[in-house]
Structure 1
């Protein structure tokens, strides 16, 4: 399987299943599949196709699967997944961010992606949300699940390359995130 060449006597499907298994990094309490770099400038086409084909195989092995996509709508428009129980759109506390979240919501509708529940999470908010931000949320028909406050320690961890799962348990951003996730999970049981 050197250099992505399928060995003699092995089907492409077997090759891809082995490669996918190799891509899963097992962690403490969770596993991670990280996509590699693009094939060409900005192109994730083949990687997305393979991810779509083999995601079902991974889903069967886990009670929860979280897909963390890069900012933007490309992953949704490429139909990397078309059937989700819970779609969380994370935005910063800006009108532009909320408008993008609204476009994502509209794109999910237009592409007929089966998203049973959809929620908006506002990240890095200075002081809650302003009236203008609330109006934008309402205008776009978004369901606000909660707000994660701006946090200097979280920023420091990010700049130092430290995993956020190692933040102190009383960290305000971490506490807010866990509260949001607990409420969403409880509401969907």
Structure 2
């Protein structure tokens, strides 16, 4: 199954610990203000983005998988209903600004294969109904590697200012290009928590040496740290905070 209507699929990935969830949440804030139909998918099993947005899921794909592998009675009751209808019930609609689907995790032993299969169905069955589908992957781009995301239009790879972070991104980029099955993909490198012009110059130089181009840098922003520490939704960040201003300019440059 593939999306039957035109709609951009935007994926955010990168190494762990560089503020990927915070940047994804800021993207949600900006894109939801731009108008258009926006689907947000929290594809990280620990549902970090959902929490960063100040939401609690009504249900997750992991919860659904638990019912399928549970008792025969539960399994029969669940499987009688169309999968798309069940996925719709899991989603949260945020005041008409965007819809949110949360992956979650299954408590069953083993890998996330079953949960990823259902996530793939959710993406493919819903993405055509939205102008933009924003997917926040777990650390790395595991869902891309497992072909959970069947097609990517724009891939944001997030890193910090370290050279090792940039080296990690080259591997993630190569995986994404290979998994996109020959379809064009725009890879955008974002550098987070930049503290000075010297740091920005250094990281751009490292990227160029690895045949990558940095589309933009997001400055260190104390407001984000304070919001995360207090558990306040990043959607409530003021529009004039340095990180929001920088990210808004970056997204505008690529017409997003």
Q: Give your verdict on TM over 0.5.
A: yes
Counting only pairs closer than 5 Å after superposition, residues 9-88 of structure 1 correspond to structure 2 as 10=80, 14=82, 16-28=83-95, 29-40=97-108, 43-88=111-156
Regions of 4+ moved over 6 Å: none
Question: For residues 6 and 162 of structure 1, what CA distance do their matches in structure 2 show?
Answer: 40
Could you report, residue by residue, the CA deviation over 1:104-138 in whole angstroms, capped at 9, with x for unpaired residues? 11112333443521101111111143554223211
Q: Which residue of 2 aligns with 1:91?
A: 159
Contact 1:73–1:104 (Cα < 8 Å) also in 2: yes
1:149 CA displacement: 0.5
| Structure 2 unaligned spans of 5+ | 1-63, 69-74
For structure 1, the residue ranges without an aligned partner over 5 or more in a row are none
User: 1:50 & 1:133 partners in 2: Cα distance?
Assistant: 38
Q: RMSD between aligned alpha carbons?
A: 2.4
TM-score (norm 1): 0.85
C-alpha contact 2:120 2:148 (8 A) present in aligned 1: yes
Q: Secondary structure at the match of 1:185?
A: coil
TM-score under structure 2 normalisation? 0.65
Higher relative contact order (CA 8 A, sep 6+): 2
